[in-house]
Structure 1
Amino acid sequence: MPHAETPGTGSAPRLRLRWWTELPLIVLVYACYSAGRLLARGDVSSAVNHGLEILRIEKMLYLNAEHPLNRLFTREPWLGVPADFWYASLHYVVTPALLVWIFKWRSVHYRAARTWLMTSTFIGLIGFTLLPTCPPRLLSPEHGFVDTMAHYSSYGWWGGEASAPRGLGGMTNQYAAMPSLHVGWALWCGVMLWRHGGTRTAKTAGVVYPLVTTIVVMGTANHYFLDAVAGAAVMGVGLLLAPYVMRGADRARARFAGRVPLIAAQASEAAEPTRTGAATPSPAAAPTASPGAETSIVSAGCQTSAGERIPWQRESRFGPEAEPDASPTDAGDGAPAAAR
């Protein structure tokens, strides 16, 4: 069964992770990701202004990778169509496939990898909410961008309005360009392949996949170059925060695990009188043994002198280390003590 441990926690116990608990967690995070993109639509005019501001910043920095790549992908279908398939599909296939692979074959690293990815994704959702941004493909035509997803929509399963399946474009937030989690997730995949792939092919794929994804998101006019930079920065912040997130989860788990036995013990003590059929004797009613003699309890509430014993009768000693036997029946005749 796969195991994982928290790096840097020293004596922290190894945690047993199971797929039937991990899968709902991954689904929940992806649902939050999709819902966050959908709910944080923002004002369209603000999103357009943010997109134009990014273009102005890139112009000041002499950055203009989007236009030449977009013109190339629009002019050459043999580049544009595979790029659209890459953008619309691999983001949702490669990342979960690598999660499953790490869980099964690199389980000691799984928890740290999963926490890094999830933390970064939630940071990205904050970016979508605070800074809704219009992607280049949705700017007015005078800015010189062509939506290759719409241009080549007849080749693929996506519609002309978004990278969603046909007819579902209205169910996505098309103004969630900043940061680019396509680039962020691809960078995470690249690091996982480089660190845990074990072969030269895997390490090469770890370098090629995020680089090609960065080119694709710009060439298809879905993201600006600064979106890609922001996506990489989000993953960096998530990597720094992941150990703290895991420590917080460990503390919360330890507190919860400590409370559960306490609650169970209290419930067991409360149910004990009901199971035995007799009330727990109060301290005031408990018999007190003299220093020189011991009192033997041979039935519920019935005392005998020291040394006296009824044949076949079970005994229990009452003293500082034992409690009275509150059994509702005698071992000799099986009748309730109260009936005699």
Structure 2
Amino acid sequence: MSTVAPTASRRTGGADVVRELAQVLGAFLLYNLGRMLAAQELDRADAHAGGILDAERWLRLPTEGSLQAWALGHDWLIELANRYYVSVHFPLTIAVLVWLYRYRRPAYTWAKRALLTATGAALVFHVLVPVTPPRLLSSLGMVDTGHAGGMSIYQAPVLSSLSNEYAAMPSLHVGWALLLAIVLIAACRSRWRWLWLLHPLATLFVVVSTANHYWLDGAAGAVLVVGALWLTRPVGRTSQAEPALLGRRTT
């Protein structure tokens, strides 16, 4: 039996993976470059942050400071939160996309389209509505735990030059985490798949306790992603769409 065809197929498959990853990484780079172009109008950003805090008080949400104060009482927890913030968000997203591409191609297409749609919409909001994050809003008196622990992504010269720190809302950390959870739950059949919901919940805790986002930043990121998933959802009846997401043929 000739091995030429399988070898060529593997090479083609590898090239496809590289091309898809390049698209996602390229979009992420453009997103960060776009955020850099946003004017960092500190007065407007502070005013928008104040509006968010007013809305949270009206909704009777717990303060971000109270959550952080509790987390700071547990050194191991705040260190874990810092590491989760800098180490899990992007690597896990890429890992899940690669797995979906390999084993659940229709679900991968759905996830990629929704991710690009949500990220593009978030960029527009970041440019038009700058928001000061809690760690930079002096009136809150919150601790920049990443900077204090030496694990802030904004301390790295390259990353800091590619970042606009006044783009707190919506939180794509929370949004992307929820996107992964929803797509994986839809694309898998294991009874353990529901545990993926712990990822967005943990991410929400992390971004608030580290003073990177407000509660409503996370809520906005979640709403944005749910809308993007709905807009890019597989077309067809449920009975036809589910087998497609699972990578199975309909009969």
TM over 0.5: yes
String of CA shifts for 1:10-57, please: whole Å, max 9, x gaps: xxxxxxx92243222112211111112222243111111111111111
CA–CA distance in 2 between the matches of 1:41 and 1:145?
Answer: 24
> What is aligned with 2:119?
121
Alignment of 1:228-307 (within 5 A): 228-242=218-232
Contact 2:40–2:164 (Cα < 8 Å) also in 1: no
Deviation at residue 178 of structure 1 after TM alignment = 0.6
Please tell me whether Structure 1 or Structure 2 has the larger radius of gyration of its CA atoms. 1
Q: Give the letter for the 2:177 counterpart.
A: A
> What is aligned with 1:149?
146
Match of 1:185 among 172, 176, 179: 176
Alignment of 1:80-95 (within 5 A): 80-95=78-93
Unaligned runs of 5+ in 2: 1-8, 235-251
CA–CA distance in 2 between the matches of 1:55 and 1:221?
Answer: 13
TM-score of the superposed pair, with normalisation by structure 1 = 0.61
> What is aligned with 2:192?
201
Deviation at residue 201 of structure 1 after TM alignment = 3.4
Contact 2:174–2:218 (Cα < 8 Å) also in 1: yes
Deviation at residue 199 of structure 1 after TM alignment = 2.5
CA–CA distance in 1 between the matches of 2:43 and 2:75?
Answer: 32
Work out the percentage of aligned pairs sharing the same amino acid. Answer: 36
Q: Which has the larger helix fraction? A: 2
String of CA shifts for 1:86-127, please: whole Å, max 9, x gaps: 111111111111000000011132212211111111111111
Q: Could you say what secondary structure the match of 2:154 adopts?
A: coil
Q: Could you say what secondary structure the match of 2:157 adopts?
A: coil
CA–CA distance in 2 between the matches of 1:129 and 1:135?
Answer: 15
Q: Which has the higher contact order (CA 8 A, sep 6+)?
A: 2
CA–CA distance in 2 between the matches of 1:22 and 1:33?
Answer: 17
CA–CA distance in 1 between the matches of 2:34 and 2:78?
Answer: 29
Q: Give the letter for the 1:194 counterpart.
A: I
Matched, 1:19 2:17: yes
Match of 1:130 among 128, 131, 136: 128
> Alignment RMSD, CA only?
2.2
Q: Could you say what secondary structure the match of 2:232 adopts?
A: helix
Task: Name whichever of 142-151 and 85-94 sits farther off.
Answer: 142-151
Contact 1:123–1:238 (Cα < 8 Å) also in 2: no
Deviation at residue 74 of structure 1 after TM alignment = 2.4
String of CA shifts for 1:253-296, please: whole Å, max 9, x gaps: xxxxxxxxxxxxxxxxxxxxxxxxxxxxxxxxxxxxxxxxxxxx
Change (3 A) 1:40 1:227: same
Q: Give the letter for the 1:235 counterpart.
A: V
> What is aligned with 2:212?
222
Q: Give the letter for the 2:119 counterpart.
A: T
Deviation at residue 165 of structure 1 after TM alignment = 5.1
Aligned positions, number: 222
Alignment of 1:322-333 (within 5 A): none
CA–CA distance in 1 between the matches of 2:39 and 2:126?
Answer: 8
Match of 1:70 among 68, 71, 78: 68
Unaligned runs of 5+ in 1: 3-16, 245-340
